[in-house]
Homo-oligomer: A and B are copies of this chain.
Amino acid sequence: MPTRHPQLNAHGELKHLLTIEGLSRDLIHHILDTAAGFLGVSDREVKKVPLLRGVSVFNLFFENSTRTRTTFEIAAKRLSADVVNLNINTSSTAKGESLLDTIDNLVAMHADMFVVRHAQSGAPFLIAEHVDRTRGNVHVINAGDGRHAHPTQGLLDVYTIRHFKKDFTSLRVAIVGDVLHSRVARSDIHALTTLGVPEVRVIGPRTLIPGGLEQMGVHVFHDMREGLRGVDVIIMLRLQSERMRGALLPSAQEYFKHYGLTEEKLALANPDCIVMHPGPMNRGVEIDSAVADGPQAVILDQVTFGIAVRMAVMSLLAKS
């Protein structure tokens, strides 16, 4: 995995969005402020602004995700961009063309922006470094790479927290579940610590919590009840069904018993605690329906804010 983050241009503006790691607190707030300005666009009768008219956005999904692809497609179309969807597993790479040859071809078609989803950590970095080296005027957005990062999810999560809690500097935030395999958790931790959240907790079974979190200033809990006590924000993670099959966990029932968020466990958090989830939810596995549909859940607000955050990121990149 690359350690350099070539996402800022010479003026410190965002050229690519590859990871939240290394973004300054000011820059994150600038993105969130920009998103706030776009929130109204989706409420209008004509849900469009002409900011990206004639701009060519390519959704490069090397890993299938209709849901994430849709959010970027909607965001781009509301900015009036032209969007081309490419499911690359069924395409050139199947014919043996290398990833970077595919990228070179799309750059030669005068692409303006790549939204990249890839099962391998680091792929969007590789692409961004390559386009910078060869041409320099295409913007890359990481829409999720392996276990590494999902920065627009991280940004929409902190947008949601800012919206409901106003201030980050007195919050306790708990992230619950399969942190080991979660790019969302990684991006959230970077965003939260950068924004000054004093206490980030991670809760999960030993098999699903990576080492080294304490060095990032994160508190690790294996007992969910203990970890939820007094928190203001709970971010539930999706449990991939392959973890079950991979025998990292005994069963969904067992998991739910220990790490599923129920009303009873939620009552241990602060009374105005909000409940978040990146979706899609496994009801009855990591979250009980009573909580998912309850008054403290802000899961659908996350989706709404996610469109505005992606519009903000795209418009800021296009201006850099």
Asked if B54 and A66 make an inter-chain contact with CB atoms under 8 angstroms apart, the answer reads no
Copies held by the complex: 3
Asked if A86 and B105 make an inter-chain contact with CB atoms under 8 angstroms apart, the answer reads no
The residues in A between 291 and 305 inclusive whose CB is less than 8 angstroms from any CB of B are 300-301, 303-304
The residues in A between 248 and 301 inclusive whose CB is less than 8 angstroms from any CB of B are 279-283, 300-301
Residues on B with C-beta less than 8 A from A67 are 91-92, 105
**CA gap between A244 and B218 in the complex, in Å:** 55
Residues on B with C-beta less than 8 A from A92 are 66-67, 280
Contact residue among B46, B107, B280, B307 (Cβ-Cβ distance under 8 Å from A53): B46
The residues in A between 8 and 57 inclusive whose CB is less than 8 angstroms from any CB of B are 42-48, 53-56
Asked if B47 and A108 make an inter-chain contact with CB atoms under 8 angstroms apart, the answer reads no
Q: Tell yes or no: A120 within 8 A of B by CB.
A: no
Asked if A110 and B42 make an inter-chain contact with CB atoms under 8 angstroms apart, the answer reads yes
Q: How many residues of A contact B (CB 8 A)?
A: 55
Residues on B with C-beta less than 8 A from A53 are 46, 48
**0/1 interface trace, chain A 46-76, chain B, CB 8 Å (1 if under):** 1110000111100000001111001101100
Asked if B43 and A54 make an inter-chain contact with CB atoms under 8 angstroms apart, the answer reads no
Residues on B with C-beta less than 8 A from A169 are none
Residues on B with C-beta less than 8 A from A95 are 280
Asked if A66 and B87 make an inter-chain contact with CB atoms under 8 angstroms apart, the answer reads yes
**CA gap between A88 and B66 in the complex, in Å:** 8
**CA gap between A112 and B107 in the complex, in Å:** 29
Q: Tell yes or no: A101 within 8 A of B by CB.
A: yes
Q: Tell yes or no: A90 within 8 A of B by CB.
A: yes
Asked if B56 and A97 make an inter-chain contact with CB atoms under 8 angstroms apart, the answer reads no
Smallest CB gap from A134: residue in B: B300
Q: Tell yes or no: A82 within 8 A of B by CB.
A: yes
Residues on B with C-beta less than 8 A from A1 are none
Smallest CB gap from A54: residue in B: B46
